[in-house]
Structures are given as C-alpha cells and as structure tokens.
Copies of this chain bind each other. A is one copy, B any other.
Amino acid sequence: MSVSPAVVIGAGLVGASVGCALSKAGHRVHLEDRNASHAQVAAGIGAGTTAPADPDEVVLVVVAVPPAALAGVIIDALTRFGQATVTDVGSVKAGVLNALWDSGGDVTRYVGSHPMAGSQFSGPLTARADLFTDRTWVITPHRKSSASATSTVGDLVAVCGAHAVIMDVDVHDSAVARVSHLPHLMSVLMAGHLNEVPTDQLQLAGQGLRDVTRIAGSDPGLWEQILGANSAAVLPELRAVQRQLDTLIAAIESDGTTGARSHLERGVAGTRRIPGKHGAAPVQYRQLVVEIPDAPGSLSRLFADVAEAGVNVEDLSIQHDPDRQIGYLALAVAPDQAEVLITRMATAGWAIGDADPSGDRPS
C-alpha cells in the first residue's frame, strides 16, 4: 500500500487515530498541529513522529483540522508537498472543493474523504488505532481527481481497516445532512425547548428524553462550522420536516388521534430503515412461539427453561387463542440463535415453532 511517508495535519482524535493506524501497520507518519503539545501527545501514544517530513518524499497528507480551517490547510498542503496525494476527513465536502477549485492549486492530487467514526471525547489522548475498524469511510473523488490519488486514499482506508464507499461530493453532503445534521438539529430543538420547562417538571424525564437530546450537548462552535459549511444541503431537509410538523399539528388539532397515527407509523417504518451498527444489514428477528400448557406452574417453568437456553431474547409477549383456550409465549430472537432455542426447548418437552411458518425467514 503506497501511503507513506505520510503527514497527518491536525492531531486531534481523528488525526491521531489515523496516525496510530498507519504507524501500527508499519508506515512512517509525520505529525503536525498548530498546537505543538497536541502533536507531542499524539507522538507519545504511537501516532508517528513530530520530526518534519522531507516534502518531496511525502506520498499522502491527511488533513484533520476543524471545518472552518480545512480549505486553507489543504491548499497549503498541496503546495508544500508537491508529489503527495492530499485528503481530508471533514464531514462536509462541497465547500472545501469549491474553494480548492478557485485557488488554482493542483486539485488533481486532492480527493476528499470522511470516516464515519468518532467518540464522545476529543483530543489525541483518546486516539485509537482501531477507531475506524469496520466503519464506513466515504471517499469523494471529483471530476479532476487523478485515478492514482483516489487509489492512494483507498489504500489509506484499507490500512485503517474501514470499508470504503465511493460517493459524489454533493450526494455525500446530502446524505450527512439527512443522517447527521438534521438529527442534530432535531435534538437541539428538543433540548432547547427544555429551557421553557419548570425544574420540578424535569424530574419526570426518562431515558427517552435523554436519548433524543444527547447529541444536542455537543460543542456549538464545531456544529456552527458544520452547519455553515452544509447549509445548502441542510435547508431542504429542515423544510421537509417543517411541513411534516405542520401537518402533524393540524392533524392533532382536527381530531386528536387519527392524524397522528400515520406519523407514528411512518416513524416506525423509518427506524427500520437504519442499517445495523457498522453498516451491517438491519437485524430481522425470527419470531417463535411456545405453547403454554394449562397446568399450574407451567409458565414459570417455561420462563426458566427459556432463560437456561442462554439465548438472547430480544422481545417477548404472551398471546392467547380464544378459540382454543390456549396461550402462547411469543419470542423474538436473532436468526442465528433460533435453532439453538428450538432444539433446547423441544428437548425439554415444549411445543415450539415459528410464529408464522409461511413467512420469509432464513432457512
């Protein structure tokens, strides 16, 4: 993989983690940061060296600075490292690319990228070589990118253990507006409204409120930069939600429930479209049912046997068949655990089967 010697500019969490991943794979990494102590910390945890690189030797430059500084640092890097492929890890791509085109620099050596990884921490001390393992890392070539530059960024992604996804710059910016920037603003609107709620009423807050508002606690300075860079893509998404909110309010005003129902069902459908963690396909649980015998204590024995099977039960409920005067325990389990549970329960004497034998399920 032709990715070194490499220069990482910006030794925060992401930059230092790139340095650690490259160094761990045996590549030489030179670290730069406007704040010298950040580069020193990153070097101290194995992200590379603070010794300057020979500009003519550098193969790859990874720019990992805050959004507002990206374009200037990339333009400078294209000039300083005349042979190097330059990429960045910023979360918005179009504005940076526009600035580069206007700069008159050698944009053929620039290919943007965006690793979908991070943590609640910032700074080099929390960097990890495995931060990108199995994560999606978007690569956004543009019409003047050279094939070799795109290939070099692909090598970087591979060395870091991430999955490369090639995307058009504008498609990328739309996608992050939808799956990252809009959710952030919805969280911000909800959290902001809490300023209107009397303190004693906030005692009733539960996990749902905490989940919805968690990301609203993030650094406003960083998010101001992100939203500023991506306002063109964020606005149509905000307006679409604005229209939905207007119809939801009108529906509740007019009849109280029926109108809200379609929004609630649309929300459930939306949550099911989110892929599993690390880009895996959404998990479809297999639905099983166990017949509950009409005998004293049979339900507690049934529950004990399910627990003893050691299978992770994702959901369960009791169902009743009024025609047959019989009860069922319905269980949802991961497809790869279903056979284990079926075998164990059948061996223990229970009548167990699929909830809907005619439905699609893994064989």
Tell me the A residues contacting B by CB distance below 8 Å.
35-38, 40-41, 44-45, 116, 118, 120-126, 136, 138, 165, 171-172, 174-176, 178-180, 182-197, 199-206, 208-218, 220, 223-225, 227-228, 231, 234-235, 237-242, 244-246, 248-249, 252-253, 256-258, 260-261, 263-275, 277, 279, 292, 297-300, 303, 315-318, 320, 327, 329
Contacts and interface: CB of A to CB of B under 8 A. Distances in A.
A352 to B, nearest CB: 15
A258 B240 CA distance: 22
A208 B180 contact: yes
A190 B201 contact: no
A193 B270 contact: yes
A214 B274 CA distance: 10
18 contacts: A41-B318, A123-B316, A165-B200, A179-B197, A193-B241, A193-B270, A211-B215, A213-B270, A216-B271, A220-B261, A220-B265, A224-B260, A224-B261, A225-B257, A227-B256, A227-B260, A242-B242, A245-B245
B193 A244 contact: yes
A1 B18 CA distance: 62
Given A206-B180, A224-B260, A273-B202, A268 B191 contact: yes
B224 A299 contact: no
A249 B242 contact: yes
A235 B260 contact: no
Contacts of A223: 260, 264
A102 B218 CA distance: 49
Contact of A252 (B125, B165, B238, B270): B238
Number of copies of chain A assembled together: 2
Nearest to A315: B121
Contacts of A270: 190-195, 213, 216
Nearest to A328: B37
Contact of A204 (B136, B187, B231): B136
B192 A179 contact: no
Contacts of A241: 189-190, 193, 245
Nearest to A193: B241
Given A126-B316, A197-B175, A320-B36, A249 B235 contact: yes
A261 B209 CA distance: 22
A224 B193 CA distance: 23
Contacts of A121: 315-316
B257 A228 contact: yes
